[in-house]
Each structure stands twice: as C-alpha cells, then as structure tokens.
Amino acid sequence: MSTFRLALIQLQVSSIKSDNLTRACSLVREAAKQGANIVSLPECFNSPYGTTYFPDYAEKIPGESTQKLSEVAKESSIYLIGGSIPEEDAGKLYNTCSVFGPDGSLLVKHRKIHLFDIDVPGKITFQESKTLSPGDSFSTFDTPYCKVGLGICYDMRFAELAQIYAQRGCQLLVYPGAFNLTTGPAHWELLQRARAVDNQVYVATASPARDDKASYVAWGHSTVVDPWGQVLTKAGTEETILYSDIDLKKLAEIRQQIPILKQKRADLYTVESKKP
Amino acid sequence: MSTFRLALIQLQVSSIKSDNLTRACSLVREAAKQGANIVSLPECFNSPYGTTYFPDYAEKIPGESTQKLSEVAKESSIYLIGGSIPEEDAGKLYNTCSVFGPDGSLLVKHRKIHLFDIDVPGKITFQESKTLSPGDSFSTFDTPYCKVGLGICYDMRFAELAQIYAQRGCQLLVYPGAFNLTTGPAHWELLQRARAVDNQVYVATASPARDDKASYVAWGHSTVVDPWGQVLTKAGTEETILYSDIDLKKLAEIRQQIPILKQKRADLYTVESKKP
C-alpha cells in the first residue's frame, strides 16, 4: 500500500480535560470518516501547555486519556498518534506521545527526549525541565504503509533524531508540537523542511490551535512536507483537521533522482545511535 | 575580533580561463578595497562547469590559477577562498577549493567530497563522477575571527559535514556552489538555512553568475545566512560582489538563547567523523 491518508487534528485545547478528550475523539472520528488511515493529535492535547499545569494534569499511562485514545482508535480502525499528554510515572513527569493501532493496542510511547529549555530575552523564556524529565529512547511504529518515527516539538530541532529514524527505515516523521510566536515564524516550517529534504521523508507536525489568551500561545500552522522539502499543506491558526494523501512512490522517485542516502560517505562520517 | 567583512564574488565565468583569472583577481582587489577580510570566489570560477570541460581545463595545484590566487591574496592581505577549479593530480581529476592566507600561503585544499550525480528526468541529469574523483577529507582553516569549514556545492546536501564542522568549532561554513534551475529554486536557500539553524553557524554560498547560454545554467543567488537561519543578504543572478558583516557575538547570543548544541543527547546519538 503505497498511499495513505494522513490527518492532523489542530485541536483548540481548553483548561478542561474532559472537554478536550471529548472533542479530540469526535475529531478523530471525523478524520476517520474522511478516510484518514493515520491520525495525529497535537502536543499537549488534553490540557493547557505550561510547567505550572503539567503536575496538575499529569496522569498515568495507561490512564484516563490513553484509555479514550485506545477506544477511539479501535472504533475508527486507524493508527492514532496521541499528540502528547503530561504523564506521571514513578514520581516523575514526562511529555508523552502514545500511539494506538487499529485494534486499540498501544504500539509505542514516546517521551520527549529534548526538553524545551530556551531563553530569548524579551520574547520567550521557557524551561520544561523545571517540571518534566526527558525520555531516553527512539520511538517508531510500523504500519501497512510505512514505518513512522516520532518526536515531540523541540525534538525537531535535533537533526540526529531524524537522521536515525531515516536510517531505521522511517518514511514519515510526525512531530506533535507547539512552537510559539517567536520560534514559530522563524523555525517551524524551516525545521520541518530541513528534516524532510535531508532525510527524504515526509514530515508532519500537529500543533494545537492558537489561543491568544493562553499563557503559552501556540503558533499553530500544522503542516505536511514532502521528501523534496515542499510544503504540501498547512493549517492556519484555528481548530481544523488537515488532510494529506501521502504517496510513498513519490518518496522512492525523489530518492532515486537525488540519491543522497546512497551517497553518504561512511568512510568519513556516521550518525550513530547508542540505544536500540 | 568578533566582527569581520565577508565578500562573495559572483563571477560571470566565460570559456576563457585567462579572462576568468584576470577578472576574478580584479574583483578580489575590489572586495579588499571595500574592507573585506574573507573573500570567496564561486565554484568552478576559472572555467565552464561540465564534465566535458573538466579534463581540458584541469590543472595542477599549485599551478596557473592557484598561483594567481596566492598572489592576489597576499597583495590584498585577505583570506581568499578560491571557489573551486578542476584539479589534476596523479591522473585523477577533482573539483578543488584552495584557500590562501593574507601572506599568500596555501592554508587548505578541499576536494569536493560528494560528487554531483543526480538524475531528475526531464529536468537535470548530471554525473560528476564520470570525470571527477571525490575528495576524502574535511577542510577547515583558522582566521583571527573564527574557524571556517568548507564544502563545495553538492557537499551542502550532507548535513553530517556541517555537523562535524560545527563540532570542530567552525562558526562560518562556506560553500562555493552552482545549483541549477531545478535544484536552485527548490533547495539552494533551504539547505543553507538548514545548515545554519541546525548548527547555529553562519553559512555562505558563492555561485557563478547565471549564463543562460551555458550548457550548465547556474542558479546564482549567492547568499549569506545567519545562525538563526535568517537570510542576511543574497545576490541576484548577475555578476556582483555580495558583502556581509559577520557578527560572532550574535552567534554566541543565539547559541545561548536556544542552546541546542548543549542539549544534544550524547547518550542516545552521536555524529562521528572517521578521519582527522
């Protein structure tokens, strides 16, 4: 199966978890009705994004939110990338993406590897590491279409993650993420296009819809980029479902036309992963 | 010295080597007069670009062209990145960039590592490897301002080269290069911005001016990108000298604001060079 439909749910996230879960699930059903095979929710889809909120909204996995995701994935018979939620485990908090298969089973759990700690004076200062702990593993899952690699938001700034996922055969990279009004315009699209053109993969990002009154204002603009580095489609800032039909034959053609993955100089350099 | 002036000479290259050398040297003198400290010529500045031309125009290093570069570097007291020329050595041909210091000495010689072999049906098919051999070493040189890393054109498609140069302390990457009317619009600027934002370095490309009657039509648009991934300046398609004042304090600030080089996960991945 060399084509499939990808749907990115740019959810308007409120401070009420139950509302977020209900609306997320209904939008997942809608996406499935429109023929989506793989669906992604945005980063921190079940609660407001911020270090003061993470402890209050954090839950176990499996738990309330992931149970709902599992059910709706099964009901809709789709692969569901659960954006991310604050996860609590053994006294630590993580920013975690859970992925469910069409049978509702948990396929993989990605804990954000690179915590969003930046300080751009007068613009944006954020320190996820105040309350979150980093994950320490690579996260991919298989589908009948292709292998998918996962990162969350700030993970996208690290080329090595995408390079390793491409080495491992991923042809789609999905980053639930919420850039902001400083990093969004500067880097959101550039980084996606860079990962796509360097690794000749499809790259998708799922952002929450923008809420100008929130303490952390998300950039929005969920996007899908093809292996040529071209933006196929992108959302605005409102709540929406972004659809993109992914053509893996096109990926194969691009890799044949500009065969950089075969022209790497392993005698000069390698990108090595230290963990399975 | 945290600031310096960079000049990129977008030379109109003809089929007459002596003309190209004369005009290249006069533009280097002009750049030095305008206060340039580091000057780059474009890829294949002394002869037309193409596999049929390389054997005819190839010369030894040191040889006619590099002798002239050495003299004008010394006369102008600048660091001169000699774009590239077809080089002949022990029966093999290379696409080679020679760099000269203000005293006229040869600082480093970079032979293009990744040969431009692509086939985009109906658009561009090129096979440098038909006549050229690849280089097999990393090339950096020190200046009072910063360390500079070198690549030539297609080398820019390989993120690993830039990652290693950044690891080695380069803060400016210069790629003499000539993309074409297919890869130029699609990737020329994207790749430069990707290398810059991922490694938080300045990136500069020096292209020949466009000649629509040439067998290989160069894209032009020599460019300078800052460590934030922002295009500082770029040329059109005609012959010109592009100036950019490089501020290394700005580089340091950006690296402090978004400290991705310190947030790498060496416990999960590394980019390793296999050669000094």
pLDDT below 50 — which residues of chain A? none
Is position B195 within any domain? yes
Q: How many structural domains is chain B composed of?
A: 1
Is position A275 within any domain? no
Q: Chain B contact for A268, CB < 8 A?
A: yes
- The CA–CA distances, whole Å, from A50 to A15, A54, A56, A58, A179 equal 11, 6, 10, 12, 12
Is position B272 within any domain? no
- For B89-103, what is the mean pLDDT? 98
CATH number, domain with residue B34:
3.60.110.10
Catalytic site residue A146?
A: no
Strands A124-127 and A117-120, how do they pair? antiparallel
**For a pLDDT cut of 90, what percent of chain B falls above it?**
99
- For B7-30, what is the mean pLDDT? 98
Q: Tell me: the pLDDT tens digits for B133-154?
A: 999 999 999 999 999 999 999 9
Is position A128 within any domain? yes
Inter-chain residue contact A160 with B187, CB threshold 8 Å: no
Catalytic site residue A97?
A: no
Chain B residues near residue A274 by CB distance under 8 angstroms: 266-270
Chain B residues near residue A183 by CB distance under 8 angstroms: 258
Predicted local distance difference test score (pLDDT) of residue A1: 82
**pLDDT level of residue B253 (50, 70, 90 thresholds):** very high
Q: How many CB atoms lie within 10 A of CB A89?
A: 15
The pair of structure tokens assigned to A140 is 């991919």
Catalytic site residue A64?
A: no
Q: What's this model's pTM, rounded to 2 decimal places?
A: 0.98
Question: Which 206-225 residues of chain B touch chain A by CB within 8 A?
Answer: none
Residue from A273, A129, A159 nearest B163 by CA: A159
Question: Which 107-166 residues of chain A touch chain B by CB within 8 A?
Answer: 113-115, 117-121, 134, 136-138, 157-161, 163-164
Q: Which of B25, B43, B68, B146 is catalytic?
A: B43
Q: Fill in the DSSP letter of residue B128.
A: G
Q: Which of B126, B263, B267 to mutate to test the interface with A (most CBs of A within 10 A)?
A: B263
Is position A276 within any domain? no
Predicted local distance difference test score (pLDDT) of residue A221: 98
Question: Which 169-188 residues of chain B touch chain A by CB within 8 A?
Answer: 183, 186-187
Predicted local distance difference test score (pLDDT) of residue A66: 98
Chain A residues near residue B257 by CB distance under 8 angstroms: 118-121
- For B126-133, what is the mean pLDDT? 97
Is position A267 within any domain? no
Q: Does residue B1 carry a pLDDT above 90?
A: no
With CA atoms as reference, the chain B residue closest to A271 would be B271
Q: Which amino acid is at B57?
A: Y
Q: Which of B269, B271, B272, B275 to mutate to test the interface with A (most CBs of A within 10 A)?
A: B269
Give B267 to chain A, closest Cα distance, Å: 6
- Contacts across the A-B interface (CB distance below 8 Å): 143
Report the C-alpha gap between A44 and A52 in whole angstroms. 13
Inter-chain residue contact A198 with B159, CB threshold 8 Å: yes
- Helix (H), strand (E) at residue A33: helix A17-33
Residue from B199, B246, B254, B248 nearest B224 by CA: B246
A217 contacts A187 by C-beta, under 8 angstroms? no
The pair of structure tokens assigned to A65 is 């939110």
Mean pLDDT of chain B: 98
Range of the domain at B205: 3-262
Is position B208 within any domain? yes
A93 contacts A65 by C-beta, under 8 angstroms? no
Q: Fill in the DSSP letter of residue A59.
A: B
B127 contacts B121 by C-beta, under 8 angstroms? no
Q: Does residue B156 carry a pLDDT above 90?
A: yes
The pair of structure tokens assigned to A164 is 């390793």
Report the C-alpha gap between B246 and A200 in whole angstroms. 32
Is position B15 within any domain? yes
List, in sequence order, the alpha helices (H) in chain B: 17-33, 54-57, 64-76, 159-167, 183, 189-199, 248-257
Give A275 to chain B, closest Cα distance, Å: 6
List, in sequence order, the alpha helices (H) in A120-265: 159-167, 183, 189-199, 248-257
Predicted local distance difference test score (pLDDT) of residue A273: 98
Q: Tell me: the pLDDT tens digits for A167-185?
A: 999 999 999 999 999 999 9
The pair of structure tokens assigned to B167 is 């690891």
Residue from B49, B46, B37, B42 nearest B7 by CA: B37
